[in-house]
Chain A
């Protein structure tokens, strides 16, 4: 069964600090891996999208890495802000137009002043 596992489940950091969220997956072959930010009560917002051939993708203070050999991805957040408090979801999509997306359970990040 294809799985996407995220760690840690939750994380608390101080404002201004950096943090790294992990995503391990077994989906194979896969089309792309996406990281989303979901604020409470809102729909997910795309942060990065990477295909299997990409190793890193940045979006402002967010940098995602991908190692397709070990099936691992990480999302690094630099200089955290209070507004970064949210759930971060890793999603891996299988190959082809009919490829399904498998969602991780998310990491809940809390940034404290």
Chain B
């Protein structure tokens, strides 16, 4: 089955530094990738949608200059949290949608998530 790999699974960083999270589709071409943020005991909240080769579309209230998204290839999207602060500490999850038919086209596959802790 299709696999989406997210790296790292957890990261601790100092306040003011930047952190990059990678999301890779391992066995299909992901034309669209989605980045979510999840707080404890809450559901996923969509942050942005990235399409390969174009600028990401951010949801209302999400700072695009703080959460930089790059989707340079059909298998890789990155989320960079710039100048991280403790309030950025959260669980970040990506998902990928393919361009072929069937399940690949229905955004069924999520990465394992990245637990970011800013100290």
Contacts and interface: CB of A to CB of B under 8 A. Distances in A.
A105 B109 CA distance: 18
Interface residues of B, number: 22
Interface residues of A, number: 21
A49 interface: yes
Contacts of B95: 43
A34 B43 CA distance: 14
Interface string B38-52: 000111101000000
Given A89-B43, A103-B44, A104-B43, A44 B107 contact: no
B113 A106 contact: no
A90 B109 CA distance: 14
A100 B42 CA distance: 19
A46 interface: yes
Contacts of B115: 41
A106 B106 CA distance: 20
Contacts of A49: 103, 106, 108
Which of A43, A44, A46, A101: most chain B Cβ within 10 A? A43
A93 B97 CA distance: 12
Contacts of B113: 41-43
A32 B91 contact: no
B93 A44 contact: yes
A45 interface: yes
A51 to B, nearest CB: 9
Q: Which 5 A-B pairs have the closest CB atoms?
A: A43-B110, A43-B113, A46-B108, A103-B43, A105-B43
